[in-house]
Amino acid sequence: MNETIIYALLLTTFAGLSTGIGSALAFFTKKTNKAFLAISLGFSGGVMIYVSFVDILVKAIESLEQVYSESTAAWYGVGAFFLGIIIIMIIDRFIPSFENPHEPKQIEDMNAPKDDKKLYRMGLFTALAIGIHNFPEGIATFSAYLVDPSIGIPIAIAIAIHNIPEGIAVSIPVYYSTGSRKKAFWLSFSSGLSEPVGAIIGYMILHTILTPATFGFLFAAVGGIMVFISVDELLPTAREYDHGHKAIYGMIAGMAVMAFSILIMM
């Protein structure tokens, strides 16, 4: 296993296990920093939207052009982009809304009236839902780093930020229903393991058939997944944490940082 693959796997693992950061925040802070979460989630959305349209889709089509004509490659790239959106939409569709990990949770919810059995079930299903969501995210982060570390690193950071509220969403109901910080933390932490698992399984399936064509299709689909995550999860959640303009400011800042980083690497 070469160095690039090892770094890609480590980066994907970091992104996935950042659910543990959310869990730690729930236990060691008394109040939700709504402004921080709104700006951070908006920033992550801006990074992923900008890089998906400006870099990922472009590189996917360029790869397809090595095999197909310019026009055909463009059609295939756009088709794969929307196929990625459809895949993540299907995954999202089969998770009931009351167990959806992207419903905003606040640290103050730990003081809400409790129904132990219902809360514990909610925590378990939220952890499962996060695992299902994170699987394609792991493939996306891993693939992005293999293609271009300058893209993969900011995407991994964006995914890591996006996983922090998910960690809160798991740990609050589990802790409140069991009284165990340890159980809540480890369940929240382990729910992010599906990202490196997704990366490993994706690599095992794809590495033997990685050609310019398969790479182009995969990378375009990754772009679609990233855009859907941003517009369906990150930005709405950011607005829930702050109804002002902080989420939008964060998104614009994320786009600007990504744009300048791409220009610098050119």
Render pLDDT for 55-80 as a digit per residue (tens, 0 to 9): 889 989 999 999 999 999 999 999 99
Residue 66's pLDDT is 92
Weakly modelled stretches of the chain, pLDDT under 70? 1, 26-33, 95-119, 122-123, 126, 243, 265-266
> Residue 76's closest CA among 84, 68, 85?
68
Residue 23's pLDDT is 76
Overall pTM > 0.85:
no
Compute the distance between CA of residue 190 and CA of residue 175 in angstroms, rounded to an integer.
Answer: 15
Q: Is 212 exposed, middle or buried (0-12, 13-18, 19+ CB in 10 A)?
A: middle
Residue 265's pLDDT is 63
CA distances from 225 to 78, 169, 235 (A): 13, 22, 14
Residue 65's pLDDT is 95
Answer yes or no: are the C-beta atoms of 60 and 80 closer than 8 Å.
yes
Compute the distance between CA of residue 154 and CA of residue 100 in angstroms, rounded to an integer.
Answer: 25
pLDDT in tens, 121-169: 766 776 777 777 777 778 878 887 887 787 788 888 888 887 877 777 7
Residue 103's pLDDT is 52
CA distances from 4 to 138, 148, 210 (A): 16, 10, 15
List CB contacts of 164: < 8 A, sequence separation 6 or more: 18, 19, 21, 22, 25, 37, 40
